[in-house]
Structure 1
Amino acid sequence: MTHPIELRENTYLIDNHYPLNLFLNRCQVGEVGRTALYLHWHDHFEFIYVTAGNVTFHIDGQQYDASPGDILIVPSGVLHVGYAASNEEIQYWALVFNRTLLEGAASDPIHGRYLHPYLQGKLRFPVKINDSLLLAPIRDIFHDIIAEFEERAHVYELIVKAKIYMMFAILARNYLQDEEVSFSDSYEKRMERFKHLILYIQEHIGEKLPLSEAARIVNLTPNHFCKLFKAATGLTFVDYLNRLRIDKAATLLREGFSVTETASRVGCDNLNYFTKLYKKIKGVTPSETKRLLG
């Protein structure tokens, strides 16, 4: 897994005329709770298909437990993050595409009725597909898309696009009139605040940031801030900040920085505390990480 440079992920899509891509993500064997998907957001839709291991995703402030065979739909523009729920290897496919891939002609009433509300974010499908009768055909389509990407035979792009249309058609048939697909504008605005805060945290990882100051940045009381932050990330503010610092520390150690310099760069002035925190999160000490890297 690679660490995103910033919270708003500039996902690599094939090109502006064919704005989609398929990624196979792996998270190696390790401690329960390790990051399987780094917290980020992007302007694209994303279908996540778990094929190995158990993952707890937090998508737009809600928790979803996923195991092999599960498919989740990440709406455009929402925060999402994933943590390993077991110590085994995690593997999942991510199909990412921009809404422009499926935008129909303005004069197409069928497109306007069945797809436009979802593509424009006015309505949302349920994030996790729990209906087994619905999940099976969508999983089959996902397998077809994977096969097309692996083969890349003549006109595979058109076939993949048609398959995505089919997935949306199946979802629209089942959820078009359900009230559960709607969402709260006020809730979305609150989540927008956290995008800026978390990006600020990542850019100032070596600086102290008290909880009270973080709450002030998003214009919330500390108590309300704690509840919303836990909902958005699945972690308390302190736990998230510690994990982010240790993930950054692991990167710095791999890049050749000493343990002492690494601790300083991630804002841990007390070397003993840094070592204990690193071992708690990573399962080994910073020095042991250096030795394993050779």
Structure 2
Amino acid sequence: MTLYHSYFDLALNTHHTDSELSILFSGEGKPDPEHKQGPVVHDYYLIHTVFAGEGVFEMRGRTYTCKAGDTFIIFPGELFTYIADRDKPWHYAWVGFTGRKAGTLLESIGASAQQAVISGAPPRSIRHYYRHIRRSFQHSAFPQLEDLEAEGWLRLLLRELGRANASRITERAEAATDIERQVAQAIRYLELQYTQAVSIEQLARNLGYHRTYLCKMFKQSTGLSPMQYLFNIRMERAKQLLQTSMTIDQVASSVGFNDALFFSKQFRKWSGKAPSAYRKEL
């Protein structure tokens, strides 16, 4: 790789984990004129931010000319190509990462495979985050802590890109209907409060909606009533807890049931198996 760069610096994560967000590597370089990558596909996310010069990035049939302050994002499974300008080859930094929440985090800053370039981020502050990511990997005696530190810097980098992309985020938010936002509010409440005794009246009161209206819009959006949705959340969580050493009583109380016998009946109705039988099969 260094054969095609006048400057090249790369840091690798030796403790990559299957977590919400985990960095594979990060680097910075000044490619030679017309240095090209692709067409090729990666199985991870890869972000490049341009500090100087220019180049062209192609993905999903779209061609982007990128210059200082632009960030282009490669998504897993997407065919892409990028090439440095002949007269003013770009100088950029990059970070490759995976994670269960990676796609969601990119979506939250307004990035997608269809809109894969973010413009307007100040190169100086952005470069600061890339440097800290690379410096996290000093090959100390605690690589798991290096991974944790680098993840924090990546989240800060994404926040900075999100600020630069605020107008696109706002457009997406405005495109969502009032009902979608209200239902999302209700779902979030149920996901956080499923361990407690929850009633329709309480849910409606806490969110500021009429009970009948809340039930109607919730079912229109999800196909379920709020209580059915809550029930599914509890049962899915119970399945996870039954894989631990917790007792049936402890599992029941952890998912909002004061009566373990009633919980067992409901779990059997939902899954077709009693909690003890489900655990035995595992």
TM over 0.5: no
Q: TM-score range by the shorter chain?
A: 0.3 to 0.5
TM-score, normalising length from structure 2? 0.44
Give the structure with higher Rg (CA).
Answer: 2
**Greater strand share, structure number:** 2
TM-score, normalising length from structure 1? 0.42
Higher RCO (C-alpha 8 Å, min separation 6): 1
